Structure 1
Amino acid sequence: MARRLPYFFFLAILIGCTVFSTAQATRIKDLADIEGVRENQLLGYGLVIGLNGTGDDIKKSVFTKQAMVNMIKRMGMAMTDNVFNQMKTKNVAAVMVTAQLPPFARPGSAIDVQISSIGDATSLSGGTLLMTPLKGPDGNTYAVAQGPLAVGGIAFGGKAAKVQKNFPTSGRITGGALVERGVNFSLPSSGDLLYQLRETDFTTTSRMVEAINSHFGTGTARPLDSRSIRVKIPSGFRGNMVNFIADLESIEVEPDQPARIVVNERTGTIVMGQDVRIATVAVSHGNLNLVVTDTVEVSQPNPLAGGATVATPVTTAQAVEEAGNLVVMPMGVNLGDIARALNAIGATPRDLIAIFQAIKAAGALHGELVIL
């Protein structure tokens, strides 16, 4: 029980900050995006060279070997079948290169790239990515990546032991790709703008429309549905779209939050919204622990007597069931009351997940339960 106290202490502080903090307004730029102003995903296949024997095994990774041959031929060097069959280098690794092409990117702009090994390389540390075209879903090349990798992990060891920190088979190059082609999109000089909320909610949409109309005048914004808002460009901002968008996105709105509990059973993580409520319910939870112990009893013969030492394995099993305390939670309790009631029965994070599932099944949880 003593080991649970630090967790419950941290949970109590987190809940106290959530329950007693006042609602904070959020800028529109943090809640919605203009339709069409978005990033585009890019993908490419390349080679990382300069590895210290930690690259792909050429005998097993055939695609790495073929990529090396194609690269050498493009450099104007001939390669015979005998040389091809004798290749044993382990200083090269085949990788996939991914990047995000930001909106309004122009040729010559630098973007970051992420490099991940697809072969059996053990580490990309110290490697250099060769020139790699990055293509979009339409098959066109939008950027070209090249440069030394920054790997945030290490791995070393021998046959009997190995030490690894983080993931050395993935790296990043900051500004490692140059944009060769931009996406054709431009803001309208007049007309309407369509804003898309990142989280669908009718209440937040209504508040956002009210805030925009209060700032620019009635009729500037109107809702289309729970996610979309159409904004009419005022006559005073015709031809000055950048200043209008900057002024609009700085307007603060208080977003509404759904009553939701998100749990991750794999990690034991629980996140509860402050609007979660439950009906009157009694909760009792007890754990059944099975302890299995293996020991060895040794029997030795008397001194100077014949015989041999005998070792007999002995296995004992003991079942221990913790007492389950029945706690009654009244209707309409808030997040802090729920946490205090469940902590009173000594519930661990995984116990809380089972309890919330049972309360939801009983129909007493007034909110959404999301299980990841």
Structure 2
Amino acid sequence: MKKKVIVLLLLVAFFSFTAVVRIKDIAKFRGARDNQLFGVGVVVGLNGTGDGGTLNSPLLANMFKNFGIPISESDIKSNNTALVMVIADIPPFYKEGMRLDVVVASLGSAKSLENGVLIQTPLYGADGNVYAVAQGPVSIGGVEVKSSVNLQSRFKATGYIPNGALIEREIPSNIVSENSITILLQHPDITTAARVAVAINQKFDTNLAKAKDPASIVVKVPDAFSDDIITFLSIIEELEVIPDQTAKVVINERTGTVIFGGNIKISDFTLSYGNFVVNIQNGEIDGQEATISNLISALKALGATPQDIIGIIQELHKAGAIYAEIKVM
């Protein structure tokens, strides 16, 4: 069978277009972090789908005792209760009286937590202190799927309580240290950190910010904002920068998906693959430069399958012809 030949011509100049974003969208302030809470509780009101044994008897017996109702552990053998782990995340700056969403998961042999109610459960932080209490009806979510074979049925041993926890103690958050704040990038990068520092210094027309490492930028608090930190932080959050990123191609061999960003470049090469001969030389094709995007378009126009395209991209990467990181899933 005659092989198909593709000639891609490489342009001299390349252009990469990256979105301009706010610092708020790519970073956070050190000290402004979530904290994880956890506790062990009992879900009641189950219709025979609970633990069905004595696993939760000591806990239930202690609860009855606190209510002034003496009862023996051996007398508690209910299929309508389930021992559960209760977890929640408390965001920074949340105050007493605010509410959190809660996740509950069975610790025993309960078949379902559907229509159950969580009894008041203290939620602890990593330091052993109680920061919230959770209580309320457990939601499994969605509806039971019976008619369709394409949808997965619900997993009933885990449930949710929207706004089910009430904060009893605030977790202190301190974002100012030695008259300075630290900005932490969500995706550490040397160039992005430098650009953030430059944007801040240009905004305030003085050298307040310095990139300490690829992840953190230290910013001095000006005297004018010493008693108004929130306004200072809000100004910084709204500053816009162009984040830098490593060129990357993500390949999912199972689904035949290729995801890439930016204008990923390809060097000169000649590749024979199956029924295709791919040849890139200095120049252009249909007025376009030789990039991953244009290569894929040309291959698809000639009838290449997703597997063909993925195979060619992988071989080019092995040969060093693609200037990007390849991640295969």
TM-score, normalised relative to structure 1:
0.72
**What do the CA deviations read for 1:300-337 (whole angstroms, capped 9, x no partner)?**
xxxxxxxxxxxxxxxxxxxxxxxx43333557722321
Q: Which residue of 1 aligns with 2:138?
A: 149
Paired position in structure 1 for 2:28: 33
Match of 1:336 in 2: 293
Decide whether the 8 Å contact of 1:113 with 1:177 is kept in 2: yes
Q: How does 1:172-251 map to 2 (within 5 A)?
A: 172-188=160-176, 191-251=179-239
Among 348, 358, 361, the alignment partner of 2:318 is: 361
Q: 1:135 Cα deviation (Å)?
A: 1.2
- For residue 204 of structure 1, give the secondary structure of its aligned residue in structure 2: helix
Other-structure match for 1:314 = none
TM-superposition CA deviations, 1:135-157 (whole Å, max 9, x none): 12222211111111232144488
Cα gap change, 1:118 to 1:225, in 2 (>3 Å): same
Aligned twin of 2:69: 77
Q: Alpha carbon RMSD of aligned pairs, Å?
A: 3.1
- AA aligned to 1:83 is D
Larger RCO (CA under 8 A, 6+ residues apart) = 2
Cα deviation code 1:253-279 (max 9, x no counterpart) = 111121012234566554212242233
- CA–CA distance in 1 between the matches of 2:208 and 2:265? 37
**CA–CA separation in structure 2 for the residues paired with 1:82 and 1:236:** 68
Amino acid at match of 1:140: N
- Which range moves more in the overlay, 240-249 or 226-235? 226-235
When residues 360 and 142 of structure 1 are mapped into structure 2, their CA distance, relative to the original with a 3 A threshold, is: same
Structure 2 residue 16 is matched with structure 1 residue 24: no
Gaps of 5+ in 1: 1-19, 287-323
1:129-148 superposed matches below 5 A? 129-148=118-137
Q: Is the Cα contact below 8 Å between 2:43 and 2:119 reproduced in 1?
A: yes
The answer to whether residue 98 in structure 2 is matched with residue 109 in structure 1 is yes
Displacement after TM superposition at 1:178 (Å): 1.1
Note if 1:327 corresponds to 2:278.
Answer: yes
**Cross-structure match for 1:315:** none
Q: 8 Å contact 1:189–1:239 — kept in the other structure?
A: no
- Opposite residue 98 of structure 2, the aligned amino acid is S
Assess, with a 3 A threshold, how the Cα gap between structure 1 residues 83 and 188 changes in structure 2: closer, same or farther: closer
| Deviation for aligned residue 1:200 | 1.1
Once residues 43 and 210 of structure 1 are traced to their aligned partners in structure 2, the CA distance between those partners, rounded to angstroms, is: 41
Is residue 269–residue 281 contact of structure 2 (8 Å, CA) maintained in 1?
yes
Q: Is the 8 A contact 2:57 2:74 kept in 1?
A: no
Q: Name 1:346's counterpart in structure 2.
A: 304
* Greater Cα radius of gyration, structure 1 or 2: 1
Gaps of 5+ in 2: 1-14, 283-288
Which segment is superposed worse, 252-261 or 75-84? 75-84
Displacement of 1:49: 1.6
How far apart, CA to CA, are the structure 2 residues paired with 1:68 and 1:283?
71
State the number of aligned residues: 306
CA gap of 1:265–1:325, structure 2 versus 1, over 3 A, is closer
Superposition TM-score, scaled by structure 2 size: 0.80
Superimposed CA distance per residue, residues 275-314 of structure 1 (whole angstroms, 9 cap, x where no aligned partner): 422333455656xxxxxxxxxxxxxxxxxxxxxxxxxxxx
**CA distance in structure 1 between the aligned counterparts of 2:58 and 2:299, rounded to whole angstroms:** 60
One-letter identity of the residue aligned with 1:50 = G
Distance in 1, matches of 2:253 and 2:66, equals 51
